[in-house]
Amino acid sequence: MSAIRVIVWKEIKDMLRDVRTLAAIALLPLFMLPLMSVTSLYAQGLQPGVVAIINYDSSTGFVWGVNITSADFIRGMREELERNGFSVVHNITHYVDAMVIVREGFACNVSSFTERSFLEVIKSLGSSKADAAENIIVNYVNKYNHMLATLKVLELGSAAGVNVSVDSVLNPVKTRVSVVGAGGAPVSYEEALRVYIARFLSFSLIFVTTPSTAYITDSVIGEKERKTLEALLSTPIPRHALIVGKVVSTSLIGLLTGFTNALGLLLFAYIPSLFYGINLFHLIPASVMTAHFMAIYLSVLSSLALVTPVVIRSGSYRAAQAFSMVIISIASIVFFISLYVDIEQLSDVYKATLYVLPYTHASLFIKYTALNMPQNALLHLAILILVISSLVYLSIRLFSEERIIYGRT
């Protein structure tokens, strides 16, 4: 352990010689990601959406004694759009994000018991506001349809002399959705939301692999180019202490940069949540945050454990960097999959393939902690630590002084 502490102390002193670069790598995401979130919200406010509503209808209709006109329909749609920050125009004099066309006979047809009316919605290609406008329009039309259907049911019931329940006609099936935990007991909405937050935290691990792999490459091959590796190898420090010391010291830098990346990503999502009045941090228990922090460090160690055998055997910056990109890509795929897929529910072939990768166990460790399933969480944590230890041991066994010193860089 004393030899490992010497190597760790040496590596940290070496990295601290370039404090500016280290600070930039560590702190830049912490400021840039929240800044991106704030500026995106501000930019959305600077870009008001514009919807044109063109009315060609002059007809009228009556349902259950209520006068139906397209003017009332358009007035309600305009109020709904304006309530959501859109500007509404009634002629196309400039660029619009979407256009709504009300054809002749609209009011007459919607009040009919045999005809239907069609509303035409045209979205502008490339508009960032067009989809939002479409959702608002469709939701308003659904409410309008329900209002008209209610009036028609009442009129038909009156004509038939039947006391009609509108809900029994329009909504004969009522759906009740609940969420249960592993034991079958119902869980609250907040508990269910924590699982989705855990998925998001797992996805945030996608940012922790890059800095550590760059530092381990420089720690080995950079020392060779600076002609300091030979002097280090001439000391009586055991080779396993050299490998473990470099991995541990580099992991501390990776932990710092990975943590700030993850924290910056959390702030990236947290700022809009405050804007809309939801405190996401209140929904994250301390156990999940602790598991997330542990998964960050173990993911960093996983990347180092995967890259180190290649670094010490290749002795080439290009080979090490190419393999580092492969590791980063694999980690990104796993964390991206964990955002949308229940890995443990995949077929045996796919699940076995993902279980080989340490990043899968880091993601599942967070998930099972959020589900309050400590046995499953500890199992994946143990597997993760075992895989990391095995890879570090492989690096020690593959260590070759001659290959590192005399190999091409």
CA dihedral sign, ordered 98, 104, 109, 115: negative
Pair (15, 107) in one structural domain: no
Structure tokens at 310: 């290649």
Cβ-contact 197, 284 below 8 angstroms: yes
Q: For residue 121, what is the domain's CATH number?
A: 3.40.1710
In a domain, 183, yes or no: no
Pair (256, 400) in one structural domain: yes
% of the chain beyond a pLDDT of 90? 35
Structure tokens at 242: 């050299």
Other CB atoms within a 10 A radius of the CB of residue 267 amount to 19
Half-sphere exposure of 320 (CA within 13 A, CB side): 28
Structure tokens at 12: 């940290």
Pair (99, 219) in one structural domain: no
Pair (15, 122) in one structural domain: no
- What residue numbers bound the domain in which 381 lies? 2-37+188-406
Which residues 6+ apart lie within 8 Å of 298 measured at CB?
358, 362, 365, 381, 384, 385, 388
- Name the DSSP letter for residue 186: B
CA distances from 205 to 35, 86, 98, 292, 400 (A): 20, 37, 38, 9, 32
Pair (257, 340) in one structural domain: yes
pTM: 0.74
In a domain, 24, yes or no: yes
Q: Which helix (H) or strand (E) holds 123?
A: strand 119-123
pLDDT confidence of residue 361:
94
Residue pLDDT, tens place only, 44-96: 666 679 999 999 999 999 999 999 999 999 999 999 999 998 999 998 877 89
Mean pLDDT of the chain, nearest integer = 83
Pair (206, 329) in one structural domain: yes
Domain end marker among 170, 203, 227: 170
Into how many domains does the chain fold? 2
In whole angstroms, what is the distance from residue 38 CA to residue 158 CA? 56
Residue pLDDT, tens place only, 231-259: 777 777 787 888 888 888 888 877 777 67
407, with CB counted inside 10 A (0-12, 13-18, 19+), is: middle
